[in-house]
Amino acid sequence: MITELSYSLGNGWTSLAGANGCGKTTVLKLACGMLKPDSGSVDSSGTAVLCAQRTDHPPALLNEFQNDWCGETIQLRDSLGIGDSWAERWSTLSHGERKRLQLAVALWSRPSLLAVDEPFNHLDSMGRDAVVMALSAFTGCGLLVSHDRAAMETLCTRTMLFHPGRISLYNAGYSRAVDEEEMERTRLAAAREAAKRDYLKKKRDARRKMLKARTIQAQAGGAGVSFRDICRLGLDGPSRIDGIVQKAGQRSREAAAKAERARERMESITYRKVHRTGIDLTGEPAEMNLLLDEAPGSITVGRGSLVIPALELLPGDRIALTGPNGSGKSTLLRWMKARLRCPEEKLVWIPQEIAAEEASRLLTELRGLSRDELGFIMTVVRRLGSDPEKLLDSSVPSPGETRKLLLARGLLGDPWLIVMDEPTNHMDLPSVECLEKALAEYPGAVLLVSHDRAFLDALTDSSWSIGSGELRILV
């Protein structure tokens, strides 16, 4: 839960960064008036439009956009590469094409506030550059959630960093904001440690003075006081005895008060703890020589076809599947899945998009697992940066959380093969880094579809490339 959130934002782009499930999408919906806060209010001048992560459904104003042929709208279509027939065939568009069309309709509506949630998911390099250019021309108040660090740095001059129960706003781009936050965290950690040392010192002093006061009171309150006690404690008569006892008690109380103030100062200094992250992708090489062995042929892709050469997938292969949006990558994966020589329990299959209904069913299914299995899955989720308790209490996991759940569930079976369609989509930046390190050590076969060239270069050693209606094998 986030409390006492109070910000005022003007024109220009602000990035929202944090782990999956930390509340970024909720803040976007609050800003756009799609949700109401439990207390307080959200004030926005003019209209607000949200471009959601998912592209399950077409935008509300799609038909109006399609029927507008003024020069400015045509220019917007051309800048984002929007085909004339796209609005009529939404269901057959790739997710990258849907994303560009979704953003085009949002920009065409000229909102005062534009909130975009992961706008670069599914986009090839040309599509990504076109979207960055289009968003940079927006002159209103923009809120951006993205795992694309370069795009965040290009577009945003302000950054909101999300952590459990807290959001911090920085008048800086993402990298500088992260650096500033880490410097502040380091400073607070050092201040807390110094305050702790001071508290422990005063606590020890208070205890010594309390024990001394009790000793004096006990010795002075007896039937008689020995000569030795008089010499040691300075007691030389009833009035003197009472004064010494009172003074010892006063010193004890003052020391205790100083210790309490030191404790309060220590506890007032709070900072974000850094939890251990990173996962191990448990698995093993396949027990058979070939996971896929297909003769040359062709498959239907949209209104065309894709020519396929002979395909083999070996137990140790690390393959990148690349190609522009709409070229048939996801269609090819679905075709391959039906032909894999891999038992279902030995396969981790993470598609490009998971509908909200399917994500909800997945969470319900996982809740029914044994305690040990669910504990393993939630440990993986936590090590990838998400809060397991919050996730289990939700009804629909976010797209990034859904990917983490699918991956964690698949690891239960020590898989032979991991197939991920756009693995960095929807996942937060720390999770992507954890995933890359884990995949680098994974002993089984890997097939990755991605437009993230650096990610593929780090993890694959051969490529299947789609272009001009043909799949080519590159080594």
Domains of the chain: which residue ranges?
12-172, 183-268, 292-474
Measure the CA–CA gap between 207 and 200, rounded to whole angstroms.
10
Span 457-474, mean pLDDT?
92
pLDDT tens digits along 13-34: 999 988 777 788 889 999 998 9
User: Does 120 have pLDDT greater than 70?
Assistant: yes
Predicted confidence (pLDDT) at residue 233 exceeds the cutoff of 70 = no
pLDDT tens, position by position, 75-105: 999 999 999 999 999 988 888 899 999 999 9
Q: What is the pLDDT of residue 229?
A: 57
Q: Is the pLDDT of residue 51 over 90?
A: yes
Query: Which pLDDT score, from 0 to 100, does residue 225 have?
Result: 53
Supply the DSSP string of 305-335, one letter for each residue.
Answer: EEEE--EEE-TT-EEEEE--TTSSHHHHHHH
**pLDDT category of residue 453 using cuts at 50, 70 and 90:** confident
> What values do phi and psi take at 446, rounded to 5?
-135, 135
Task: Render pLDDT for 273-296 as a digit per residue (tens, 0 to 9).
Answer: 665 556 767 767 778 889 999 999
- pTM for the complete prediction? 0.65
**Ramachandran quadrant class, 421 (left: phi over 0; alpha: psi -120 to 50; beta: rest):** beta
What pLDDT is recorded for position 232? Answer: 57
When comparing pLDDT for 150 and 207, which is higher? 207
CATH 3.40.50.300: does it fit domain 12-172? yes
- The fold for domain 292-474 equals Rossmann fold (3.40.50)
Q: How confident is the model at residue 223 (pLDDT cuts 50, 70, 90)?
A: very low
Q: Region 203-227: what's the mean pLDDT?
A: 75
Kindly give, in sequence order, each residue whose CB lies less than 8 Å from that of residue 3, ignoring residues fewer than 6 positions away.
165
Measured on CA atoms in the order 87, 88, 89, 90, is the torsion positive or negative? positive
Q: Which residues contact 146 (CB under 8 A, 6 or more apart)?
A: 15, 116, 118, 119, 120, 152
Q: Are 120 and 128 in contact (CB under 8 A)?
A: yes
Is the pLDDT score of 227 beyond 50? no
pLDDT exceeding 90 applies to what percent of the chain?
47
- Region for residue 175 given its phi and psi (left: phi exceeds 0; alpha: psi -120 to 50; beta: otherwise): alpha
Quick one: average pLDDT of 32-49? 85
Question: 68-77, 135-144, 196-205, 219-228: which has the minimum mean pLDDT?
Answer: 219-228
User: Looking at residue 302, what is its pLDDT?
Assistant: 79
- Please report, in angstroms and rounded to a whole number, the separation of the first and last CA atoms in the chain: 50
| pLDDT for 4 | 63
pLDDT at position 115: 96
- In this prediction, residues 248-258 reach a mean pLDDT of 88
Provide the mean pLDDT of the chain: 87
Look up residue 257 and give its two tokens.
Answer: 């008060």
| Digit-coded pLDDT (tens) for 342-401 | 999 999 999 988 888 899 999 999 999 999 999 999 988 888 878 888 888 888 888 888
